[in-house]
Chain A
Amino acid sequence: DTEVTQTPKHLVMGMTNKKSLKCEQHMGHRAMYWYKQKAKKPPELMFVYSYEKLSINESVPSRFSPECPNSSLLNLHLHALQPEDSALYLCASSQDASSGSKFFGPGTRLTVL
């Protein structure tokens, strides 16, 4: 099953809300990723988990908090977001971080009011 699933498909939240995005893969992959994509722009990397350890955390605001409960699941906790955080959030996985195809989920389209 070469599939990455993401829930929810759409999410509307206020700036004071706390919500979570969920991602799951059943391909036995050991690396998982969160990407953010604004309209008419390419995806930008937010976080990488390799063997359940956060290995890259670039200049992403602390209002985004990743969590990797196990090798198949990846969550992104959202708190006190801003309207400019509205975007398509894409999850991806790969066999490991250093090689092989990255497979993307369908994304969660987030709107912050």
Chain B
Amino acid sequence: GIQVEQSPPDLILQEGANSTLRCNFSDSVNNLQWFHQNPWGQLINLFYIPSGTKQNGRLSATTVATERYSLLYISSSQTTDSGVYFCAVGNSNSGYALNFGKGTSLLVTP
């Protein structure tokens, strides 16, 4: 299946700081999503972004499909941004089901 690598595995930020999370994948994909998993386990959709750039408030994402990576930018971080951020990808070989990376665990301190 598609290999998905996320970096960094852990990140601690002070409130107000900016950060960049990276997702590398091993094959061409037609589905790429970024999720935020809150402490209760809910996976919250952030972006559906198999290619291109999108922005939603303080978050933005860019996927360079030809180079097989995606970046998630968090600006002016808040304590509520804490949690685990997952990148997940899929293609026809995976039956289009999502393969998840191991995640980036983010802690934003006051």
Give A residues with C-beta under 8 Å from B. 33, 37, 41-45, 48, 55-56, 88, 90, 92, 97-104, 106-107, 109
Contacts and interface: CB of A to CB of B under 8 A. Distances in A.
B101 A104 contact: no
Nearest to A47: B97
Contact of A98 (B40, B96, B99, B102): B96
Interface of B: 30-31, 33, 35, 40-43, 45, 48, 86, 88, 92, 95-103
A26 B28 CA distance: 31
23 contacts: A37-B41, A42-B102, A43-B43, A43-B100, A45-B98, A48-B95, A56-B95, A56-B97, A90-B41, A98-B92, A99-B30, A99-B31, A99-B96, A100-B48, A101-B48, A103-B45, A104-B35, A104-B45, A106-B40, A106-B42, A107-B41, A107-B42, A109-B41
Contacts, number: 54
Query: For chain A, what secondary structure do more than half of its interface residues adopt (helix, strand, loop), or is it mixed?
Result: strand
A79 to B, nearest CB: 24
A58 to B, nearest CB: 9
B59 to A, nearest CB: 15
Nearest to A96: B96
A41 B103 CA distance: 8
B101 to A, nearest CB: 6
Contact of B97 (A33, A99, A101, A107): A33
A88 B48 CA distance: 23
